[in-house]
Structure formats: C-alpha cells, structure tokens
Amino acid sequence: MEKRFVYADNSATTRVCDEAVSAMMPFFTEEYGNPSSIYPFASESKKALEGARKTVADILGAIPDEIIFTGGGTEADNHAICGVARANIKKGRHIVTSAIEHHAVLHTFERLKREGFEITYVPVDENGVVTPEALSAAVKPGTTLVSIMAANNEIGTIQPIAELARIAHEAGAVFHTDAVQAAGHIAINVREMGIDMLSLSGHKFNGPKGVGLLYVKKGTLAQRFMEGGGQEKGRRSGTENVAGIVGMAKALEISVAHMEAEAVRLGALRKKLEAGILAIPHTRLTGHPENRLPGLCSCVIEYIEGESLVLMLGLNGICASTGSACSTGSLDPSHVLMAIGLPHEVAHGSLRLSLGRYSTEEDVDYILEKLPEIVKTLRAMSPVWPGNSDGTL
C-alpha cells in the first residue's frame, strides 16, 4: 500500500467538523459583539451564547443555569475540584480521586494536598475499573469531594459512574466526573447518573480547542474560580468565547446524534485493529474488554519502547500515541498502566490508536500493514528481545 496519512490519535484531539466551523464563522466576522453589551448589535452573540447553553444543557440532562463555559477541560477540572474542596473546609478536608485520572485532575489534587487537604487515591482493578467496593472503602465522614473520570484517556475503560456517584452521596460528598473523553462518545445524563459536577472539552468530539464547560448541579457549594467582570453569573469571569462555545455546542449536538451508529462502526473497526495487533507475538490489550470507548484501541507491545514505535509510525504517516498524549516529554511509564498492574518494562511498550469520525477501514488496513513491520524492525534492534536478530521469534 502506498504511504498514506492516517490520523489515529482522536483521544488527543480531533478535527473540527464542517458543521461546527460553519456555525462559528459569523461570530468571528459579522457578529462580533460582546454578549455582555446592552446595545442591539450584541444581541446576536448573546442569543447564540444562550442558545448554545440550552443545547448542551438539554443533551446532558441539565438546565441552562447549571452550565458554566470554560477555556477547556483542564480549567473545568481545576474549577470543580478546587472550588468544592475549598468551599467545604468546615465540613472536612478529605477528598478522593482515582489512581488513573488525567493530570488535570491529579495535579490539582496534589496542589490541594500542599494546601493541607488529605487525599485518598482509589486503586483500580486490572481492567482499570474503580469498583464500588474500592470507592466505599475510600470515603469516610468528612469526605467532601469524590472525583472519578467517566472514561479513561489512555486505556478507554468506562467507569460505573451512577454507582460511584451514589456511594459518594451516601458519604455526604459532592461527585465530580471528568467526562472529557466520554462526552459525545457515550451516553451521559447528569440527572439520571446522579452527577453533581461534570467537565467536558470541545476538542475531543470534533469541536474547537480551548473551550469546554463545567456542569454544576444547582445548590452545589463551590467557590468561584476567576475574579473579574462577573460573566457566567459571576462563577467564571472573562468575556465568553462565543464562536468557540457555539462550535462546541454544534459539535456535541452532531456527535450525540450519530453516537449509536458511530459506536457500532468504530467498535467494528477497533475490533479489527485489535485482532491484527494480537496476531503480533507478545502483545496484549489494555483496558476493559467490553466497557470501553468504542474507538479507542489500547495495547502493549513487549520488548519495544512506545516512543520509538510512535516515531516510526509517524514516519509512515500514522499519528498514534503512547500513554497520555498530554504528558509527552515525560519518559516515565504511564501512571495508568502502572495502576492496572503492568510491570514497568511492559508499560513502556504502550500504544494507543484512537479512531474517530473520519477514520475509515482503509486507515485500519494501512496501520495493520505497517505496524507488524515496524515492530519487527524495532525488536531486531532491541537488546532485550529474546527472538532472532531479524525481529522474528
């Protein structure tokens, strides 16, 4: 097969869909009014902002007043975690999260630890699941916040969110979920699932980067995060990114409309990819075998380094990642793979191929043509490979 460009890193970010681009355009050019201004010219931006708020609220099972627009997933996570922990100090200083969260959550917890909060990291099982039993053992009187991600960005495991939220509530804690990887890909209804706070980010479902939202259930005690002009009902100051917000709402609307069909299509493509990977000796899949994001294929390929693999795939036109794309630059093995119990040296060979809206069967075929060749080449150079010097067993 001729060299192609294959984007298989949709968990890192996605292409903005055409519909979102079209929806955004007027707010860069003709309709650039500040939504807080009171003259008629600004009314279109204000209308679009509130229309987007209603769209996302309806999709999530929330009411528009419960949606705060943010500058992405990281900001929403920071806001939720610091906001709840600091506002509830009189009740307690114990806060809980899982061992496999994104750094947007983990580093925020670490910051709170330095402020004197007590942190419990709930372990996960070998599939990356936070079990209800593990969470029950972690909460105690004085726990004010439980933050568990809806779906993991490295291994794709989906958590039993409704059950975990129930346990948090029984302990008297607020339940926050980082749904950055889940939103637009699996069904989420904050009311039905008992979620008090939820973060999502536009660029993970074919919307723009640098825009996200935080759902805050009415009545949830949380400190405001940004001081300033009092936008977003005083909870997040700063002139709203109207174009970005409109684009995110449109992208979420489209993703949710095609969610079921996409889950079937991407699930089939992922299974084909997984079967091809497992045909390479000394490989294994990571994450939950069934309860997982439809398009996210995660595995470890033993006796090679994930970084070398990703570089070689890149030279062949294939965009993939090893561990979390947000933590490239670090040579440490992924904390997620360590938490599911993989040995250090095996965790180094992690590969994530994440399919999305624009992925095709030809993309998968091309990956499956190139990957075994690349693995063979790298293993032939590996001092720890127990097979032949040509990379075969």
Closest distance of CB 121 from ligand PLP, Å: 16
Secondary structure in 3-state letters for the chain: CCCCCEECECCCCCCCCHHHHHHHHHHCCCCCCCCCCCCHHHHHHHHHHHHHHHHHHHHHCCCHHHEEEECCHHHHHHHHHHHHHHHCCCCCCEEEEECCCCHHHHHHHHHHHHCCCEEEEECCCCCCCCCHHHHHHHCCCCEEEEECCCECCCCCEECCHHHHHHHHHHCCCEEEEECCCCCCCCCCCHHHHCCCEEEEEHHHCCCCCCCEEEEECCCCCCCCCECCCCCHHHCECCCCCHHHHHHHHHHHHHHHHCHHHHHHHHHHHHHHHHHHHHCCCCEEECCCCCCECCCEEEEEECCCCHHHHHHHHHHCCEECECCCHHHCCCCCCCHHHHHCCCCHHHHCCEEEEECCCCCCHHHHHHHHHHHHHHHHHHHHHCCCCCCCCCCCC
Q: In the numeric block, which tokens belong to residue 349?
A: 């060979």
| Pick 198 or 313: Cβ nearer ligand PLP | 198
Candidates 66-74, 89-97, 138-146, 224-232: pick the segment binding ligand PLP (CB under 6 A).
Answer: 66-74
Closest distance of CB 197 from ligand PLP, Å: 14
Does the footprint of ligand PLP cover residue 321 (CB under 6 A)?
A: no
Does the footprint of ligand PLP cover residue 276 (CB under 6 A)?
A: no
Does the footprint of ligand PLP cover residue 74 (CB under 6 A)?
A: yes
Number of residues that bind ligand PLP (CB under 6 A): 14
Interface map 135-154 toward ligand PLP (x if CB under 6 A): --------------x---x-
Kindly list the distances between the CA atom of residue 384 and the CA atoms of 243, 302, 346, in Å, as whole numbers in the listed order. 52, 10, 12
| Pick 239 or 328: Cβ nearer ligand PLP | 328
Member of 8, 67, 95, 104 binding ligand PLP (CB under 6 A): 104
Q: In the numeric block, which tokens belong to residue 88?
A: 């509830």
CB closest to ligand PLP, residue no? 73
Of the candidates 17, 82, 297, 326, the residue annotated as catalytic is 326
Does the footprint of ligand PLP cover residue 298 (CB under 6 A)?
A: no
Does the footprint of ligand PLP cover residue 247 (CB under 6 A)?
A: no
Question: Cα angle at 179 between 171 and 77, to 5 degrees?
Answer: 75
How much is the CA Rg of the chain, to the nearest whole Å?
22
Closest distance of CB 154 from ligand PLP, Å: 8
Does the footprint of ligand PLP cover residue 73 (CB under 6 A)?
A: yes
**Positions in 169-228 near ligand PLP (CB under 6 A):** 178, 180-181, 201, 212
Candidates 70-78, 112-120, 272-280, 384-392: pick the segment binding ligand PLP (CB under 6 A).
Answer: 70-78
Question: Cα angle at 332 between 327 and 335, to 5 degrees?
Answer: 75
| Pick 147 or 231: Cβ nearer ligand PLP | 147
Member of 326, 342, 364, 374 binding ligand PLP (CB under 6 A): 326
Closest distance of CB 102 from ligand PLP, Å: 4
Member of 53, 79, 102, 236 binding ligand PLP (CB under 6 A): 102
Closest distance of CB 1 from ligand PLP, Å: 30
Does the footprint of ligand PLP cover residue 92 (CB under 6 A)?
A: no
The yes-or-no answer on residue 326 being catalytic is yes
Closest distance of CB 350 from ligand PLP, Å: 15
Closest distance of CB 158 from ligand PLP, Å: 12
Residues in contact with ligand PLP by CB under 6 A are 72-74, 77, 102, 104, 149, 153, 178, 180-181, 201, 212, 326
Q: Would you name the residues annotated as active-site residues? A: 326
